[in-house]
Amino acid sequence: MHYEAPMGLIPRFFILICLIVACFGSFKNQTLGRIISLVGTVGAISFYLYWWFSSYQAFKIYSGYRMDFLNSPEFSQVAYLNNGNWLDVFLIIALFTVFILQIEKLITTE
């Protein structure tokens, strides 16, 4: 038997790790903390976009199989959430929150 992680598990794991790094970096008020937090945020956004593009690409491959629901643009844009759970919702909310906090931190200087 061959056990392998599902396609969406590894990007979700790296998004979570990058968000944890961004949280730890945001607790430091020095320049190093800002850099660590920014690197974590950029990493999380990069892995999220990779997850979105790879899932979208997989559904584009299957869209030629005469499955009408796959050909609808509404479904193909959120296809990466197929078989999702509350962790996926938490990840996008956390990613959006960390991104907004990073922008606020870059705009406000002390």
- 26 found inside a domain: yes
5's tokens = 């992680």
- 1 found inside a domain: no
> C-alpha distances in angstroms, 90 versus 15, 26, 47, 94, 95?
11, 19, 15, 6, 8
- 109 found inside a domain: no
> 67 in helix, strand or coil?
coil
| Higher per-residue confidence, 78 vs 12 | 12
Q: pLDDT per residue over 42-91, tens digit each? A: 998 898 888 877 776 766 666 666 666 666 666 655 655 665 667 777 88
Answer whether residue 98 shows pLDDT above 80. yes
Domain holding 63, by residue range, is 9-104
- 79 found inside a domain: yes
pLDDT, residue 88, reads: 75
Q: Which of 93, 104, 87 is nearest to 38 (CA)?
A: 104
Give the whole-angstrom CA distance, residue 30 versus residue 49.
29
- 36 found inside a domain: yes
- 27 found inside a domain: yes
Q: What's the structural domain count of the chain? A: 1
pLDDT, residue 17, reads: 92
- 4 found inside a domain: no
pTM for the full predicted model? 0.70
Q: Which of 99, 86, 3, 101 is nearest to 49 (CA)?
A: 99
The angle formed by the CA atoms of residues 16, 87 and 48, to the nearest 5 degrees, is 50
